[in-house]
């Protein structure tokens, strides 16, 4: 039961991250871009990538919801999707933490990835 709760905690926070990223996190970036002298085509790419990442977060949360019914012993097909999302978050978090000069925010990604991987494996082994 705890593994299920943790799985859903990670899935929901990953999906909700899309809204935090797309609506709240964009404000300081918009101010910095407005104050810059970047060419218009570079600014366009920044916004394309910014909202693509928000869409990815929402998609990953959706994939985790889709994988949920398949997380039982002997049913590996949907577990693979959850493990891939978990691994992406885990390794992106580690790389971002190191690259950013040890900015603690990125440990959230490490924790989410760890929770998704761990809870998925536990749920697959549960009787």
> Which pLDDT tens digit goes with each residue over 112-123?
999 999 999 999
CA distance 9 to 114: 12
Domain span at residue 7 reads: 2-125
| Predicted pLDDT at 42 | 96
Percent of the chain with pLDDT over 70: 98
Residue 71 pLDDT greater than 90, yes or no = no
Residue 98 pLDDT greater than 90, yes or no = yes
| Predicted pLDDT at 76 | 66
Q: Is 69 helix (H, G, I), strand (E, B) or coil?
A: helix
Question: Domains in the chain: how many in total?
Answer: 1
Determine the average pLDDT of the residues in 70-85: 85
Q: Alpha carbon 2 to chain centroid distance?
A: 21
Residue 66 pLDDT greater than 80, yes or no = yes
Question: Cβ(55)–Cβ(18) under 8 Å?
Answer: yes
| Predicted pLDDT at 9 | 97
pLDDT by residue (tens digit) across 11-49? 999 999 999 999 999 999 999 999 999 999 999 999 999
CA distance 124 to 120: 6
């Amino acid at each position: 039961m705890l593994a299920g709760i943790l799985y859903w905690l990670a899935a929901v926070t990953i999906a909700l991250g899309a809204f935090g990223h797309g609506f709240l996190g964009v404000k300081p970036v918009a101010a910095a871009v407005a104050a810059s002298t970047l060419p218009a085509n570079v600014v366009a790419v920044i916004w394309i990538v910014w909202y693509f990442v928000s869409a990815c977060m929402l998609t990953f949360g959706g994939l985790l919801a889709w994988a949920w019914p398949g997380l039982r012993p002997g049913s590996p097909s949907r577990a693979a999707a959850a493990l891939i999302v978990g691994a992406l978050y885990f390794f992106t978090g580690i790389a971002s933490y190191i690259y950013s000069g040890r900015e603690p925010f990125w440990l959230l990604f490490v924790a989410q990835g760890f929770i998704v991987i761990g809870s998925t494996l536990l749920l697959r082994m549960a009787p």
